[in-house]
Structure 1
Amino acid sequence: MILGDIVGHRYDFKESILGILILGAFLLLFLVDFLIKKNRRDILSTLLIYSVIVYILCLIKVVFFPIYTFKDTSDIKISMFFQVIPFKSIIPSLKYHNWIQVIGNMALLFPVGVYLKILSKRVQSLKKVLVVSLLLTLSIECIQLIIDFITHYPNKVFDIDDIILNVIGCIAGWKVAENLLPHLKKDNPSILTNS
């Protein structure tokens, strides 16, 4: 049986659409920053803000798309929609050197930790980073689960191991930024809003 016989629809956030959205965001921010605002940011601060927008759009693409609907979902069981046993997929991945799964999930929210350290005035403790990263990854997993229930197919499975790795990645990003902060502050004092 070919995939086309069982797939109903494939919804995707194509790279071309992603590129158009990124370009549109750049143009909009350029207009706001350089034509309307009187207090213009330096180029490094502007690029940092742009990178946040690009990251958010890429994150949406990676964590939610593609979404498939299937013509026949009679064999789908509710247990296929989630995995709630901690380390069930992490341990075999490490044992069989499948680093892509582990590193990919940690890298997913690594930039969030960096952005929190550099851009946020409120999230400046490890405890707050832990709470923010946990809420963010839990939200992503819950949205994925809702999409799965709507499509009646486990497109992206709610996985406790993804939550664990995402949180570790976010904290790692925050710690890396914390260690680089003195150097950034010395070279570019205007890039940091939290100091």
Structure 2
Amino acid sequence: MRMYFEGPVIIVALIIYIALLLYLKFKHNKGMMYLFFFSIFYLYITQVIRYTQFPITYIPEMYDPLSVLRHNINLVPFQNLEINLKFMFLNVLLTIPFGFLLPLIAQVTMKKILLWALLLPFIIEVTQLIVGLSTGYSHRIFDINDFIMNGLGVLIGFLILKASIKVIFITFDQSHINQNKLLNYIAKR
């Protein structure tokens, strides 16, 4: 059996999204700009899950969690660099949006973003390992290189946001920023 990020999984993700939007709008009285960035962030997170966790395969006849432990864990950083450079670059790209978008929906300091730069890759990699051990088969590897590159991507995304905010203040005068809802929202981060 192989489960993809489609059909029922998308429906569940959509139901969760709608419930969260309603909760944020009516329970916490969040504005449209917040809900806009929350929606982008939610869509992004679903795509990270889709890319990093799916497909999930379970073949009872081939159930072998020890094989997952033997063949799907890399704890040696920067091994086989010539093969992995492309994937390392893609892992950085994967998490840049997280570092950029998170401060637009939550109060994030540099200390918190450093924590998220450790926590997000940990969640991704450990979840891959848990799914592999649970099903006895994994399309993914618990890879220290992915962990490092994902963390780097979070930091780069945060720095891009901070640089963008500086550019907004350099490019536009305060009255223009105040009149533009998007610029005003971003500039306040």
- Give the residue type in structure 1 aligned to 2:67: I
Out of 162, 175, 179, which is 2:159 matched to? Answer: 175
Gaps of 5+ in 2: none
Structure 2 SS opposite 1:76: helix
Out of 147, 170, 185, which is 1:191 matched to? Answer: 185
User: Could you tell me how far apart the structure 2 residues matched to 1:12 and 1:139 are?
Assistant: 20
Displacement of 1:173: 0.4
Structure 2 SS opposite 1:87: coil
**1:53 and 2:37 matched:** no
Out of 36, 61, 73, which is 1:82 matched to? Answer: 73
**1:13 and 2:5 matched:** yes
Percent of residue pairs bearing the same amino acid type: 24
**1:139 and 2:123 matched:** yes
- Give the residue type in structure 1 aligned to 2:118: L
Q: Deviations over 1:5-25 (max 9, x none)?
A: xxxx11222167427734873
Given the superposition, is the C-alpha separation of residues 81 and 28 from structure 1 closer, same or farther in structure 2, using an over 3 Å criterion? closer
Between stretches 81-90 and 18-27, larger displacement belongs to 18-27
Counterpart residue number, 2:83: 92
Given the superposition, is the C-alpha separation of residues 133 and 32 from structure 1 closer, same or farther in structure 2, using an over 3 Å criterion? closer
The within-5 A match list for 1:96-107 is 99=86, 101-107=87-93
Counterpart residue number, 1:114: 100
Structure 1 SS opposite 2:100: helix
**1:63 and 2:52 matched:** yes
TM-score of the superposed pair, with normalisation by structure 1: 0.73
Large movers: runs of 4+ above 6 Å: none
Point out the structure with the larger helix share: 2
Q: Deviations over 1:123-166 (max 9, x none)?
A: 321x4322212112112211111111111123311000100110
Given the superposition, is the C-alpha separation of residues 40 and 146 from structure 1 closer, same or farther in structure 2, using an over 3 Å criterion? closer
TM-score of the superposed pair, with normalisation by structure 2: 0.75
Q: Do the aligned partners of 1:64 and 1:144 also contact (CA within 8 Å) in 2? A: yes
Structure 1 SS opposite 2:31: coil
- Give the residue type in structure 2 aligned to 1:112: F
User: Could you tell me how far apart the structure 2 residues matched to 1:82 and 1:38 are?
Assistant: 42
Q: Tell me how large the CA RMSD over aligned residues is.
A: 3.2
Q: Do the aligned partners of 2:95 and 2:153 also contact (CA within 8 Å) in 1? A: yes
Figure out how many residues of one structure are paired with residues of the other and give that number. Answer: 177
User: Could you tell me how far apart the structure 2 residues matched to 1:31 and 1:118 are?
Assistant: 18
Given the superposition, is the C-alpha separation of residues 86 and 38 from structure 1 closer, same or farther in structure 2, using an over 3 Å criterion? closer
User: Could you tell me how far apart the structure 1 residues matched to 2:23 and 2:116 are?
Assistant: 31
Gaps of 5+ in 1: 1-8
